[in-house]
Amino acid sequence: MFFRGRRLRTSAVLRDMVQETRLATQNLIMPYFVTETDDPGFEKPISSMPGQSQYSLDKLEARVAQAVDAGLTSCLLFGIPASKDPAGSGAYAENGIVQQAVRRLKQRFPTLFVVTDVCLCEYTSHGHCGLVTPSGRVQNDATLPLLADVALSHVRAGADMVAPSDMMDGRVAAIRDALDDNGFKELPIMAYSVKYASSFYGPFREAAESAPQFGDRKTYQMNPANRLEGLREAQADVDEGADIIMVKPAGPYLDLIRDLRNTFDVPVAAYQVSGEYSMIKAAAGNGWLDETQAVLESLIGIRRAGADLILTYFTEDILHKRLL
């Protein structure tokens, strides 16, 4: 006698019946890049992310309209401001590009769940996620009120959830306080809790024009070799009031997704980042693998590891091709 695992694989119906994990469109969040420009109809393809572009407000609205028609339920917004300064003031301007985009999308698609990325790096002239001293050190505590202002300005514009991605210590508490004090006690925070200093953000930095002008992000983003530290980061964010905790990137850090799922009782999100997207696109573009199968396999793997929500640039494609 030996184990006959093949018995449960004999037909498609049976395989489907005993499938342990599923992917649904409701699990997916589509990231978009919106540019501050006077050019109506502006669309700038991102060369390192085939199929993704920066959009002007009107183009974004048109693009989202198609996706909503195909079943999109949630998106994440990144802004590219017309000008940058050392304090990243475009990030918390009442009429900043993300604030405008949120107002526009929520007006046209009231039920679309709009999440905003809360960070300074796309808005600072130095490209870092916090304020920088003259000697080039990224300041933690001085940055917190600015991040709270960013979050509050997004929420005042109508954002349904804010997602701080800066990796300053204490930012979830600072944002929670600011929201609570201003009448937004019920507005959820999805924290980029376990965020690594990853080479897989490379294409994003072209997309969001947010590459650091000097140094790197290793004093605030995590060392890819560390796992226990990820648990401490997640614990801190849960204690400070994060409603959803995120692991980023996803594919190379499936163990952390599982750790968080086993350790915490809040929803866990995972971000399949730009480099993960571009790798599949590049290989598929060369005919080296089947894109659809690779996309679905990469995402079911992230679900199997324990993620409830997945942020992925493949969301639109999956919807338009009716893959789920």
CB of 46 to ligand PBG, least distance (A): 11
Say if CB 310 and CB 303 are below 8 A apart.
yes
How many CA atoms lie within 13 Å of 208's alpha carbon, on the beta-carbon side?
A: 30
CB of 223 to ligand PBG, least distance (A): 14
Say if CB 106 and CB 61 are below 8 A apart.
no
Q: Which residue is nearest to ligand PBG (CB)?
A: 204
C-beta neighbour count of 236 within 10 angstroms? 16
Q: Which is nearer to ligand PBG, 99 or 272 (CB)?
A: 272
CA distances from residue 17 to 21, 22, 48, 264, 300 in whole angstroms, order as listed: 11, 11, 39, 29, 16
Chain positions contacting ligand PBG, by CB under 6 A: 117, 119, 121, 129, 165, 201, 204-205, 217, 273-274
Q: Which is nearer to ligand PBG, 147 or 234 (CB)?
A: 147
CB of 274 to ligand PBG, least distance (A): 3
Helix (H, G, I), strand (E, B) or coil at 213: coil
Q: How far apart are CA 114 and CA 184, in angstroms?
A: 15
Q: Which residues are catalytic?
A: 195, 248
CB of 212 to ligand PBG, least distance (A): 8
Q: Which is nearer to ligand PBG, 48 or 100 (CB)?
A: 48
Q: Which is nearer to ligand PBG, 179 or 207 (CB)?
A: 207
The first and second tokens of residue 32, run together, are 């978009």
